[in-house]
Amino acid sequence: MDQIERRCASLTALLHRLNPDVDIEDALKTTSVPPRGLQAAAYDGVNPASVDEFEWSESSLGSPGELRRVGLDGMASLPTGGTEAGYLGSSAGSSILRTVPGLIPEQSGLETNRRKQVSSEDPNQNPDLLLQAHLGTSAILDGLVNAYFTYYNTSYPILHESTFRQQYQNRHRLQDRSSWHPIFYIVLAIGNWILGGTSGSRECQYYSAARSRMSMHMLESGTLLTVQAFLLIGNYLQKRDRPNTGYNFIGIAYRMALGLGLHREPPAGAKTDSLFHERRRVVWWIVYCFDSGFGITTGRPVMASDSFIETCLPRNIDDSACVLTSILPTPSDRPTTYSAIIAHARLASIGNNIYSNVISAPKENILDLKISRSLDHRLKAWRLSLPVYFSAQDVPDWFRGPRAVVGWKEQNIRMMLWWGSQRLCRILSDGEEARNMCHYVAIETIQDITTFCLDYRDNIHVGLSWYATYFLFQATIVLSIHYLRAHQPLDMGPYSVNQELWALSISRARDCLAQLSQNNEAASRCLAVLERIRDQSERSQQSSLTPSGTRPNASVHADHTQLQPALATEDTVPTTLAIDPALQILFQDTAWNNDIFEGLQGFPITDEVEAFDYMPSNA
């Protein structure tokens, strides 16, 4: 702010020097500035050299067109151009993409086409929040609320449905400063997003209405409502390709949850275990899952630790007829709103262990593969311990989506376990085992997701499509990296994946992404990347086929031959990567000194080698 004030003073002095008789106040009255130009103008005077390399700003990105222009991606899976994307670590899908060096042509028509699409949008479109206070008829609002509770709250039961609906009917009696209002509007935004309302201004109105109801006042007091509001907004923003803003909101929710003691059980003096206490447990474990998932997705440190958590897991209860003061009903043996989050919370605990011990471990660590096998065993035990309705066919339709997403998460964590393991192995046979296990899980992931999308096509809403795209794309990239390297042919040993199955899986994934892309722009971008990798790799393989029976820096005389770690040199590794050595996890044995994604401007968040920060473009 001080810098902006100094700039204003300098501009005032400049005007007086150019025209001593000018009346600045009168001139300002006749000068109009587009609302969306205010914030960008505020940054014009910031010296780029003074901006920290990890800084970012998403505050002025109001329309989907702007988000595509700057290249943000809530999945952290696609490459970005010359925009600043915030810090992303080794487990982010975009980092995996960088292990396919030299396969992407330098120029692409994708960005040109996207710029043409963006330029056709009205840059001054900014609906007046006061005129849009009601944001639709009662029928529209009811439909959005129903969509939220049917398709979102069944995976992440942040809100108690009957309590919310009662407040919804009496919302006009609530105080203006109540934290319930931003919750209400973000529920509408999520419901609108799920129903596919992503192209018009309606979605922006709902989110903008929620944002307009938020202030520093919400940080000056701690309530469960405020934690819920920050959770909803943070998760919504991630899925709307504002990952850094969403990450911050989730962080606020996490800190506030700790301040409210949600990580602790209710005091021993509590006479009854009411639904209110259970709701505290539910919200805490959703905070825990969001922190874990966001950390692994972006490759950033996971904050939550099991060492200080006392809160019990939620119980599988049907509380649809309960109020917050009700005594808890008996747990059910059928799917309830809490079934998915219970399984997810147990999985997240294992995932955090895998992330800290394997995925994000420094490359200098030497991994005993017994650790990876033990962690893999824990994941299999988790799956076997799930209630029968996680594998039964006769389950309610609303439960199929939440159940599928939890299963895909487990497969993704298991795939990343073995992906991270292979780089830490020093014994050749261990490295081969880890790589083959990683490929098997990737194929299993592709098979499960593509089968689900074929069998339950009518059940796939935008929210479910988001998860299907993310997990499917990452699994396909893991296969493509090894399948497309001419210098690293498929392992044809007794435990290797069948080459025909390998190629078939990639083909199935591309077909599924093509189907999802009809209503999912992220799937379109992922498919475009896969097609470009395939086309360019075919040309590369024809021109650079080399016989290879061995691997670099390794001897193959015996199963227990030690693998020598590939040493980075100044010519192969940019110095900026030294900021986080863990980023080198996916770059070994590759000649990645050139930017393989040059020409793919607008795809998010792999261009950290050149720039970690991002500020709004003034062009």
| 482-495 pLDDT, tens digit each | 655 544 555 555 44
pTM of the model: 0.72
The first and second tokens of residue 353, run together, are: 């262990």
Top mean-pLDDT range of 16-20, 251-255, 556-560, 582-586: 251-255
Rounded Cα distance, 168 and 293, in Å: 30
The first and second tokens of residue 336, run together, are: 């309830």
The first and second tokens of residue 610, run together, are: 């050149």
Rounded Cα distance, 117 and 111, in Å: 10
The first and second tokens of residue 202, run together, are: 């309606």
Angle of CA points 112, 89, 363, to nearest 5°: 130
Predicted local distance difference test score (pLDDT) of residue 304:
83
Res. 614 pLDDT band, cuts 50 70 90: very low
Rounded Cα distance, 465 and 405, in Å: 10
What digits encode the pLDDT tens for the residues 511-528? Answer: 999 999 988 888 888 888
Mean pLDDT of 277-294: 95
Rounded Cα distance, 512 and 524, in Å: 11
pLDDT higher than 50, residue 25? yes
**Contact call for residues 276 and 324 (beta carbons, < 8 A):** yes
